[in-house]
Amino acid sequence: MTVIKLGISIPEELLEEIDKISQGLKKNRSEVVRNAITKMVNTYKKQQAIEKAERIYKEIAEDDKRLAEDFLSICEKPSAKYKTGRRTKEK
């Protein structure tokens, strides 16, 4: 993977927090920031996928409801009655 240097501006207090975390994890500042950004990006992608799935399942549920209502309305209508029995030969 190609690594590109990036210049960013962050509040001093946040930098101090990042440095404390870096020391605690025994990682350098860049690793900690990369890991944090990677986690945020993955969380965002997961959230987007969940929202898309929710929209799809909502549409499916609405379609299923309409289908069920259509089916039930057909079932409620009286239909033609058919007599069953044997047919006799005409003489």
Instruction: Specify if 3 maps to a domain.
Output: no
Instruction: Specify if 2 maps to a domain.
Output: no
Please give the DSSP secondary-structure letter assigned to residue 33: H
Q: Would you place residue 72 in the very low, low, confident or very high pLDDT band (cuts 50, 70, 90)?
A: confident
Instruction: Specify if 90 maps to a domain.
Output: no
Q: Is residue 42 over pLDDT 70?
A: yes
pTM of the model: 0.63
Instruction: Specify if 4 maps to a domain.
Output: no
At 2, which amino acid appears? Answer: T
End-to-end alpha carbon distance in the chain: 92
Instruction: Specify if 88 maps to a domain.
Output: no
The DSSP secondary structure of 34-86, one letter per residue, reads: HHHHHHHHHHHHHHHHHHHHHHHHHHHHHHHHHHHHHHHHHHHS--------P
Range of the domain at 38: 12-76
Instruction: Specify if 83 maps to a domain.
Output: no
Between these two residues, 77 and 25, which has the higher pLDDT value? Answer: 25
Q: How high does pLDDT run on average in the chain?
A: 87
Instruction: Specify if 89 maps to a domain.
Output: no
Q: How far apart are CA 61 and CA 51, in angstroms?
A: 15
